[in-house]
Amino acid sequence: MSAATATVAGIAVPTDHWIAGERVPSSGDARFEVRSPIDDRHLADVAAGGPAEVHAAVEAARGAFPAWAELGPSGRHEILVRLAERVRTRREDLARVETEDNGSLLLGNTKNVVNRAAHNIEFFADLACRLSHDTIVGPVCDNHVRYEPAGVAALVTPWNAPLMLSTWKVGPALAAGDTVVLKPPEWAPLTCSLLADLAAEAGVPAGVLNVVQGTGETAGAALVDDPGIDRISFTGSPETGRRIMGAAAETLTPVSFELGGKSPFVVFADADLDAAAKEVAGQYVNAGQVCLAGTRVLVEDGIADDFLERVRAAVDRLPVGDPRDLATRVGPLIHPDHFERVSGFVDRAVAAGARPLFGGGPHDRGGLFYAPTLLTDAAPDSEVVQREVFGPVLTWHRFGTESEAVELANGTDYGLAATVFTTDEDRALRVAGAVRAGTVWVNCFFVRDLAAPFGGTGISGIGREGGEWSFDFYCDVKNVSVRRGSFTGESVDG
Ligand code: NAD
């Protein structure tokens, strides 16, 4: 094992930065330690970047930009499709490393996440070739709309789904013709490092994709501060979003933010209660470390007791355990600091009068395992209802009428997603219209079509990505307004 490689689940993972097509350590070989949330095993010592490494990466991305932009969508498509294929070829390895690194389920990583990562790249490479370059015919001019690459995109991602969320940004940014500096999460940086290798194997030119590892306060802050970047796409907490927006304000760099959630999960009495209960139980998967999770369960009075028993039974059927075991549905929390944070929320809520319907503390397995928890009697304005816990902790609320349900659903500053279960189509559409959320799921949960817009309202985000919305962000949209007839000598009135 060389100094700059770690072996994780038998797979060699480079631990240096990837800048200008080369592996480079930090100056002074500064490193941070990565441990597995599964059993606290030491996994790697990863290069800890600072302003020097970040700036080198931004310079590399700037240098590579003109040629990458010049390739055009179809030239880039060929390379990006190869990258998607490389991701698929390494599916097992990427899935295993992700599971070791962030404790997410091996089942989900193998079956869904890595395929989705490949699709993130391929989908946007395809779409870039089909982008509608409309011509808007005005009274005097024809307005030709062009999507032009914006420059260097700074991409900052969180630990709960690093490969999926990084490719969700890398795919459209590269397809748009931008070059990229990716700052992976320090609690789970390893699959993003492998992604850089795969990009090189696929023929992504040096400098087009750069990966700078490090903490948010150091590498992340230096990246969003760098005057050489043209876009910032960030997924993470609203707190960090505020800091990044402050930095972006200095350079007026456009931002796209996908932030936290406190989403309502609304169940009406006429719903398919077994289907709804199964989805409520699904909110505990990956230990609830899912931004979109419906963490506030709002249940119509008449069915609340019955529905609670169905939820309890569905949660009892979720094995808590080692995420490498394919039967497991609830794994560990990511980090001891996060475990403290989640425990703190529940302890304070209980001290303030909330009551666990089940769970309410660490799981018997010990380590970073926390029991799936459902709290009732938490006041609507209390901390546990108002703030994102980002763990296996839901709150339970009853409502009498549809308008009460909507009022409760809209009772936080967040607005990432909402789920509604009902068999009444009119009501579904009314409630979907009345709740404040970037995505509303009706009788389903977590369905994400890449062609659809994705983002949050309120403190859950700024802007939309997905489909052509991604290109609205990663491109400069230009209007070339040509006076009609000016090349043919025809006169136009106006
Ligand atoms: P975080 O905000 O602490 O960190 C996210 C990323 O930002 C990390 O890479 C971190 O190193 C970096 N960072 C931290 N401080 C920075 C700074 N000052 N400047 C630049 N970068 C900085 O979030 P987290 O704890 O990693 O992730 C959990 C949060 O992410 C939750 O709030 C969750 O809801 C949210 N999330 C949102 C979505 C979505 O699509 N809306 C998806 C997944 C996670």
Report the nearest-CA residue for atom 8 of ligand 1: 185
Amino acid at 328: T
DSSP state of 204: P
Ligand 1, from 169, 233, 235: best to mutate by most atoms within 8 Å of Cβ?
235
Residue whose token pair is 């068999």: 423
Any idea how long the chain is? 494
Run of H or E residues at 419:
strand 417-421
Give ligand 1 pocket residues (Cβ under 6 A): 156-160, 165, 183, 185-186, 215-217, 220-221, 224, 235-237, 240, 243-244, 258-261, 291, 388, 390, 416, 456, 461
Q: Is 467 helix (H, G, I), strand (E, B) or coil?
A: helix
**Is 239 known to be catalytic?**
no
85 is catalytic: no
Detail the DSSP E strand segments found in 88-247: 135-137, 141-149, 152-156, 179-183, 209-211, 231-235
CA distance 20 to 60: 5
Centre of ligand 1 to C-alpha 41, Å, is 24
DSSP letter assigned to residue 401: S
**186, 291, 300, 475: which is the annotated catalytic residue?**
291
pTM for the whole structure: 0.97
Q: For residue 184, how far is its CA from the centre of ligand 1 (angstroms)?
A: 10
Atom of ligand 1 nearest to the CA of 236: 30
Place of tokens 């009892």: 316
First to last CA, the chain: 73
In angstroms and rounded to an integer, the radius of gyration of the C-alpha atoms of the chain is 24
- Other beta carbons less than 10 A from residue 204's beta carbon: 25
Q: Which residue has the tokens 């309410």?
A: 360
Minimum CA distance residue for ligand 1 atom 12: 216
The answer to whether residues 415 and 436 touch, using CB atoms and an 8 Å cutoff, is yes
Q: What string of pLDDT tens digits covers the 494 residues of the chain? A: 345 999 999 999 999 999 999 999 999 999 999 999 999 999 999 999 999 999 999 999 999 999 999 999 999 999 999 999 999 999 999 999 999 999 999 999 999 999 999 999 999 999 999 997 789 999 999 999 999 999 999 999 999 999 999 999 999 999 999 999 999 999 999 999 999 999 999 999 999 999 999 999 999 999 999 999 999 999 999 999 999 999 999 999 999 999 999 999 999 999 999 999 999 999 999 999 999 999 999 999 999 999 999 999 999 999 999 999 999 999 999 999 999 999 999 999 999 999 999 999 999 999 999 999 999 999 999 999 999 999 999 999 999 999 999 999 999 999 999 999 999 999 999 999 999 999 999 999 999 999 999 999 999 999 999 999 999 999 999 999 999 999 988 766 65
Residues 472, 473, 475, 476, CA torsion sign: positive
